[in-house]
Structure 1
Amino acid sequence: MSTPATLPAAPAQFQFRCSLAYAAPLSLNGILVPYLPVWLVSCGFTPFQIAAVLAAQVVCRVAVATSTGTLAGMASEPYRILVWSSALSLLSVIGLFVTSNFWVVLAIVGIQAALFAPYAPMVEAIAISGVRRWGFLYGRMRVWGSIGFVVMTLVAGNLSSLIGTNAVPITALVVLVASLAVAFVAPRLGREIMVRPARSAAGPRGLPFRQVHLLLIGASLIQSSHGMFYGFSTIQWQGMGFSNGVIAGLWCIGVMAEICVFFVSGHIARRFSPWTLMRFGCFVGILRWSLFPVGGEAWFYAILQLGHAFSFAFVHLGLQYRLSEAVAEDRQASAQGAYVAYNGAFLALSTLLSGIIYRHLEIYGYYAMVVLALIGLAAITVASGRYPQRSASGE
């Protein structure tokens, strides 16, 4: 593919605007991931019903995320997808204020997840375009999503202590309003896609696209091994007598460790290949879930939460750096959508399985998450074994 001799200038404040776009959807995760299960408990739902709602949330997200590439091709500007996604999601979440019926909540949570599904992968595609076209720092943009997660986890936790679990839908509504506002200031890239020859999808440094799917599956399996943690850790810690403040602190320790990784991601990527980052993240994930059933004190879980810097952040960074090398820019939205789809599908199964296992084994169900992490490691090892070249590209 031929490319222009010079690239057009980057949109003004590109990195800052992408940082805002990352902060919006991940701030919502900072509310829903730790506290939606607690809100569902307050509605009187059983562990299986809670798992069903959480799994439906992920399944619906998957169903729409797979069409992200198609939506990107249809839209005159990617930011328009962000606008419609956040606006419709905002309308749907209002339903949580009027009912606590299981079937209605199941439907509302699923619809909201489906409507908001294109937001995050479109932001990833925009950011990766900035990395490839103008050399912006991926980690410096993505880190603000993690910061947003921490801030909203603390806000929702403290507000829950003051007004109860109604803080969950209230803070979710506020974040979705902010997501809509941020969508209007997201960078405009236009429909023309320019790809550097060295980064093409079929070049010597790239993977065949079918091989990318094996990589996506392996990374998704590692992320899905967090399913029991996302769904039941807050409930488990409450059962151990931990206060809301301690629980919020434990969540924040994990994300703060993740933030530190993103801040220094350029240095890390220059020293280690994407494959090494992903494999090491897998090993830490296996160790983390193996030790989770052993502890009973807050300090022990605080140490384990530091492992999130590796079981999540290293795997995510390694994957995104490899995708920036292996997938052409005009296929980035499709690749990111496929990742969300695989991630969501496996996480939905993991979450639903966790509800069943937690009912019978409680904390010892984390050993099932060890098995998922091992399978993910095997998939990534196969992918890297077939294409063992080192590609520490930096940011």
Structure 2
Amino acid sequence: MIRTFTFFYYTSMGLIVTYFPLYFSDKGFTEAQLGLLYASGPFISIASSLFWGILSDKLQTVRKIMIVLFAGQLSLIAALTGIDSFWPLVAAMIGFYFFQTSVNPLNDSLILLTVQRTGGKPSYPSYRVWGSIGFAVSALVCGQAMKLVGIDKTLIFTFCSLSVALALAFSLPERQGMDKKMEFRGALRIVGSRAALSFLFMVLLISLSHRMNDAFLALHMRELGASETWVGLAWMISATSEIPVFFLLARYGDRFKELPLLAISAFVYTIRFMLTGYVSSPAAIIVLQAMHSLSYGIFMLTAMRYLQTIVPDEYRATGQAVYTVVWSGLAGLGAGLIGGQVAQWAGMGAVYYASAAFALLAGLGFLVLHLVPALSRRHASP
């Protein structure tokens, strides 16, 4: 059930990431407005991820909160269908993101606790891979469908996908209660430790790079003459490229230390986005999207592994929420605002050069953390 739920949740993610920028662009909003609109989600996620994560740990429930989150998303998608003015649209999207941005960390925390309870078999990647499949199917199939019926049907497709996810949420297994109860003082001590703060700062840098691509890839490809089908194909390539890397890391990843692996992923991001900013062909960008396997694929699983070593189980949802605040919240807010201004004044190519610079700094930072153990000393208990 967790795998099925993950599949359908990521189909809705595929629609939001791939086609929402094109949908709002077709409504006539500028790059700067789209950047602000994209930043509204990360802005509210800073509060919402912490709120829902802490509530999940305090109440020891994921299923009930998931039901509330998807019901909220559906109500806001329905409201969006009647909005055409910019500022009411921003307000509605802030409401939508309040419910949407917390699903991923809660789903990850449920998977990680389930994996631990079953002794690591099946592994985290065997669950998470269904998200990649769902995202890929959504990006490609919905791209073909929208080529026939029009990009203006994006909200209808999203509503249907979210409805299925809501129905499945009622059957999710519940997280088991922990022997140790979550305490706010302990949570603050853990996330404020030297190891956590050093790690989260590097995550912020690399996620600025990643999120700028999320926000502007579709617009960049359309500017180069790509159709909705080509945009969907680009996202499908990136999502499916994760799958073999997930399984390889599940089997062999524990042979390598986390921080050097994170540095490698950051340097791959640097090369990928430098080339994306340089090329002028949509076909070349589609090929470069395959580098997502060695950039995000390595980063995501390795970051989850490292996070487990510095956050105890009773703080799992809170730890995931803090990570999400940095990965999706702070970085997404910065990516939308910075990327929107850079795109408007210097063009899309400059957006990707800026992304490469952030990734390069992150890679160097992970190497420093690896070479200076005092900066990454683990604190496994509050």
Question: TM-score if structure 1 supplies the norm length?
Answer: 0.86
**What residue in structure 2 maps to residue 87 of structure 1?**
71
C-alpha distance in structure 1 between counterparts of 2:151 and 2:316, whole Å: 38
Q: Deviations over 1:6-42 (max 9, x none)?
A: xxxxxxxxxxx22223223322220111211111111
The structure 1 residue matched to 2:23, chosen from 35, 39, 64, is: 39
Aligned-residue offset at 1:99: 1.6
Whole-angstrom CA distance in 2 between matches of 1:207 and 1:98: 41
Asked if residue 369 in structure 1 is aligned to residue 355 in structure 2, the reply is: yes
Equivalent position of 1:181 in the other structure:
167
The letter for the 2-side match of 1:377 is G
Name which of 13, 23, 48 aligns with 1:29. 13
Aligned residue in 2 for 1:379: 365
Give the partner amino acid of 2:177: R
2:136 pairs with 1:150: yes
Cα distance 1:311–1:100, how it changes in 2: closer, same or farther (>3 A)?
same
Q: 1:109 to 1:207 in 2, by over 3 A?
A: closer
Contact 1:211 1:383 in 2 (8 A): no
The answer as to whether partners of 2:44 and 2:97 remain within 8 angstroms in 1 is yes
Shift of 1:139: 0.6
1:70, CA displacement in angstroms? 1.7
Given candidates 162, 176, 190, the residue that maps to 2:148 is: 162
**Is 2:247 the partner of 1:263?**
yes
1:225–1:350: 8 Å Cα contact kept in structure 2? yes
Residue deviations 1:355-393 (CA, integer Å, cap 9, x gap): 1101122122211112211232243234333439999xx
Contact 2:56–2:65 (CA<8 Å) still a contact in 1? yes
One-letter code aligned to 1:356: Q
How far apart, CA to CA, are the structure 1 residues paired with 2:193 and 2:116? 18
Q: Could you tell me which runs of 5 or more consecutive residues in structure 2 were left unpaired when the two chains were aligned.
A: 182-186
Contact 2:263–2:364 (CA under 8 A) maintained in structure 1? no
- Superposed CA deviations along residues 192-219 of structure 1, whole A, max 9, x for unmatched, are 2479xxxxx9xxxx99844123213312
Q: Give the 3 Å change call, closer, same or farther, for CA 282–80 of structure 1 in structure 2.
A: same
- Indicate the percent of aligned positions where both proteins have the same amino acid: 25
Deviation per residue, 1:101-136 (Å, 9 max, x gap): 111111111111111232211111111112222213
Measured after TM superposition, the shift of residue 286 of structure 1 is 0.7
2 CA distance for matches of 1:24 and 1:74?
27
Find the partner of 1:333 among 317, 320, 324. Answer: 317
From 273, 277, 283, the counterpart of 1:289:
273
Supply the distance in 1 between the matched residues of 2:61 and 2:47 (Cα, whole angstroms).
22
Q: 1:216 to 1:23 in 2, by over 3 A?
A: farther
Task: Give CA-to-partner distance per residue, 1:245-277, whole Å, 9 cap, x none.
Answer: 222111111111112212333123133222232
Contact 1:227 1:354 in 2 (8 A): no
Paired residues in the alignment total 366
Change (3 A) 1:193 1:72: farther
Q: What is the rounded CA distance, in whole Å, between the counterparts of 2:149 and 2:59 in structure 1?
A: 42
**Which has the larger helix fraction?**
2
Distance 1:220 1:18 in 2: 28
- Tell me how far apart the structure 1 counterparts of residues 61 and 289 of structure 2 sit (CA, whole Å): 39
Correspondence for 1:220: 204
User: In structure 2, what is the equivalent of residue 357 of structure 1?
Assistant: 342
Secondary structure of the structure 2 residue equivalent to 1:45: coil
In structure 1, list runs of 5 or more residues that go unmatched. 1-16, 196-200
- CA distance in 2 between partners of 1:53 and 1:319 (Å): 28
Query: 1:348 is matched with which residue?
Result: 333
Corresponding residue for 1:123? 107
Q: Which moved more, 1:320-329 or 1:334-343?
A: 320-329
Q: Secondary structure at the match of 1:355?
A: helix
- Note the alpha carbon deviations across 1:139-189, whole angstroms, 9 max, x for none: 111111111111111232122211212221111111211221121122212
User: What secondary structure, in the 3-state scheme, does the structure 1 residue paired with 2:278 have?
Assistant: coil
Distance 1:232 1:242 in 2: 13
Letter in 2 for 1:169: L
Contact 1:273–1:318, Cα closer than 8 Å, also in 2: no
Q: Which residue of 279, 291, 299 corresponds with 1:315?
A: 299
Which residue identity lines up with residue 138 of structure 2 in the other structure? M
Aligned to 1:302: 286
Contact 2:259 2:369 in 1 (8 A): no
- Misfit runs of 4+, over 6 Å: 388-391
Partner residue, 2:84? 100
Distance 1:277 1:167, change over 3 A: farther
Cα root mean square deviation, aligned: 2.4
3-state SS of the aligned residue for 2:277?
coil
Aligned counterparts of 1:271 and 1:96: Cα–Cα separation in 2 = 48
For residues 158 and 213 of structure 1, the distance between their equivalents in structure 2, rounded to whole angstroms, comes to 43
Q: Aligned-pair distance for 1:88?
A: 1.3
Residue 211, structure 1, aligned to residue 200, structure 2: no
